[in-house]
Structure 1
Amino acid sequence: MTFQTCLKSVAAGALLAAFAAAPGHAEEIEIKAVTAFPKPVEFAKSFARFVEKANEMGEGVFQINYMGGPEVIPPPQQAQAIRRGVIDMQYGPGTYYLGEMPEVDAWVGSTVSAMEGREKGGFAIMQEVYKEGLGAYLLAHIDTGVDFHIYLTEEPERTADGGVDLTGLKLRSQPIYREFFDTLGATTVSVPVPEVYTALERGVVDGIGWPLVGITDLSWDEFLKYRIDPPFFQTDLAIMMNAEKWAELPEEAREILTKAAIEYEKESYDHYQTVIKETDEAVRADGMQVIDITGDARQAYLDEAFATAWKRLKDSGSAHYDDLRDAYYDR
């Protein structure tokens, strides 16, 4: 190689290095993410679909590194991990943090989709709530339109008006429907999701509250033979980010993530309407019996359920109660 050729090679290498370091060609930003759900659960799969969508849209700008679920960080500790910046993004139920954010009950007691909630200003309020309560940036409220049911291992007793009497039954519960289960006479038991199968197998619980979506993911339907209709409440599943990480992202990255979030709220809603129909047909075909509460008893059942969520929020003294009720409740 001649001296002139060597100089040209060095110059070319320097030019390429400078070009790669230019703002338009910066290295992709890594966003570390976890979920509250084990990977086999349908809702963890939903988050994986969001990650895939966002990564395609953000190629060259950022990439979300989906690290896993409870095996990475136990769900009760994930909010603090977000606050401290141990992780950058988390997906899971907002009601894990009811103590810090009683306003999440507005999602539980919601009768509208995430899209309608955004249009009516509810999502903007919830962004304030997440910032105040967890010091986090709320990115999305996904997987709405998915309601809860009560599932039992044995046929329930019926009341004179056609309702159900669950007196003496032990139900796996969580804060969002503990009071409602109490009104039905049930005893509530706290069991982590990964331990529900064993709890059903050993008779620790006689039933659970869970959406129709995902009821077969961890084989709980081996024990759950009865479902009570109508469904009640909605899922309260959200994607949040560490506030500093969000603020440090370039504007382009924030715009892409926001666009992906808004689009996926609609996509996940539509997806689950199909999944609900297909799952309903499948579990009925496999022998699950549906206890259908009708007439005035049905209305009373739903009124009682939704009243517990909104009463909790009102009793919390939240300054956002009226605005959130206007945005999310239309019964």
Structure 2
Amino acid sequence: MFARVVRMGKRSAALALAAGLVGGGLAGPAGAEEVLRAVTAFPAPVEFSKSFLRFVDKVNDLGEGVVRIDYMGGPEVVPPPQQAQAIRRGVIDMQYGPGTYYLGQVPEVDAWVGSTITAMEARENGGLEVMREVYQEKLGAYLLAHIDTGITFHIYLTEEPARGEDGNVDLSGVKLRSQPIYREFFDALGATSVSVPVPEVYTALERGVVDGIGWPLVAVQDLSWDEFLTHRIDPPFFQTDLVVVMNEEKWGSLSDEAKEILTAAAVEYEQESYDYYQQNIADTDRAVREGGMEVVEISGPAAEAYLDRAFETAWDRLKESGSRHYDALRDAYYDR
């Protein structure tokens, strides 16, 4: 009984927080519990999928009897390239993964790639609302949350990189596992981009198909890639674009109370996941260094040039797409 009272107290506080965010008063229970079918873009062992499951637990705790998320699985359920369309068609109700998996349809996700602020700040300055409009317009989806922010990216290599006279790295001829967000940046460094799905990266490293990868510090050990990666380039660049989206019609069909619970969970988890990953980054950094990974540090003006080159590739891509949201998104998300 005590646990139930505590849970209801948490829900009351959450609903009070969310009521203003979804625009409306508290609604009474709608009857049958709403069930949302969810998938992730990553396999279950990857840290990011574990993060989403923590979000699921939060929703299911706050929403008991009102709304529940049923986690169906990852790429084995719906291949990542098909997940955006599965959301649009209502095959699934909720999806978590990188926005850049549908970069061709939604070039505005580059605003997250090139972001220098947190999700909490974007809720305050209007950036999230701009992105919600984009998602509704281009994917027929409701953008619920931008979680796991504050996670930045590195280049990892199987051998020490060459250096130019300016102190920057020279990756001429180096084959890097890439995806669309990295390609222009890797090209600028002289590297060759190679497309390899996440489940095949281990084998690609083992066989020398690639000489390195672009990846966050978080989760680099989850799939044992650090067995082959001996060097990491600092400073980090970009930011994760990991979002929770819903089918728009499904969102619209939910009771006010269910929407308020989901909104409150999203607001809370954006902060919680940010805090969690700051500690995770520190712990993983220590672990990989202790495991023998060497850090190639770019410093001074060379570091500034390296970061400018990285971030501007994301914003240049977005500008070249012709998005009418470019100025609003740059003002909201970029403060370098």
Task: Give the TM-score normalised by structure 1.
Answer: 0.92
What is the match of residue 146 of structure 1?
A: 151
What is the match of residue 74 of structure 1?
A: 79
Deviation string, structure 1 residues 267-305 (Cα, Å, up to 9, x no partner): 000100000001000100000000000111101000000
What is the match of residue 327 of structure 1?
A: 332
SS at match of 2:151: coil
Contact 2:29 2:66 in 1 (8 A): no
For the residues of structure 1 that align with 2:326 and 2:30, how far apart are their CA atoms? 46
What is the match of residue 41 of structure 1?
A: 46
**Alignment identity in percent?**
74
- Aligned mate of 2:65, from 49, 60, 66: 60
SS at match of 2:61: helix
What is the match of residue 307 of structure 1?
A: 312
For the residues of structure 2 that align with 1:124 and 1:27, how far apart are their CA atoms? 30
1:294 aligns with 2:309: no
Equivalent residue runs for 1:103-118 within 5 Å: 103-118=108-123
Quote the offset at 1:96 in angstroms: 0.9
What is the match of residue 237 of structure 2?
A: 232
Deviation string, structure 1 residues 176-223 (Cα, Å, up to 9, x no partner): 110000000000001110110011001000000000000000000000
Quote the offset at 1:27 in angstroms: 2.4
1:27 aligns with 2:20: no
Quote the offset at 1:29 in angstroms: 1.4
SS at match of 2:324: coil
For the residues of structure 2 that align with 1:88 and 1:73, how far apart are their CA atoms? 12
For the residues of structure 1 that align with 2:269 and 2:129, how far apart are their CA atoms? 17
What is the match of residue 172 of structure 1?
A: 177
What is the match of residue 9 of structure 1?
A: none
Structure 2 gaps of 5+ residues are: 1-27
1:212 aligns with 2:217: yes
Deviation string, structure 1 residues 63-120 (Cα, Å, up to 9, x no partner): 1000110011100000111111110000000011111111100000000001111111
Quote the offset at 1:26 in angstroms: 2.2
Task: Give the TM-score normalised by structure 2.
Answer: 0.91
For the residues of structure 1 that align with 2:33 and 2:43, how far apart are their CA atoms? 27
1:243 aligns with 2:248: yes
1:91 aligns with 2:112: no
Which residue identity lines up with residue 215 of structure 1 in the other structure? V
For the residues of structure 2 that align with 1:80 and 1:106, how far apart are their CA atoms? 21
Which residue identity lines up with residue 86 of structure 1 in the other structure? V
- Aligned mate of 2:270, from 261, 265, 270: 265
Count of residues in correspondence between the two structures:
309
What is the match of residue 8 of structure 2?
A: none
SS at match of 1:32: strand
1:188 aligns with 2:193: yes
What is the match of residue 203 of structure 1?
A: 208
**How well do the aligned residues superpose, as a CA RMSD in angstroms?**
0.8
What is the match of residue 16 of structure 2?
A: none
For the residues of structure 2 that align with 1:316 and 1:120, how far apart are their CA atoms? 24
What is the match of residue 13 of structure 1?
A: none
Structure 1 gaps of 5+ residues are: 1-22
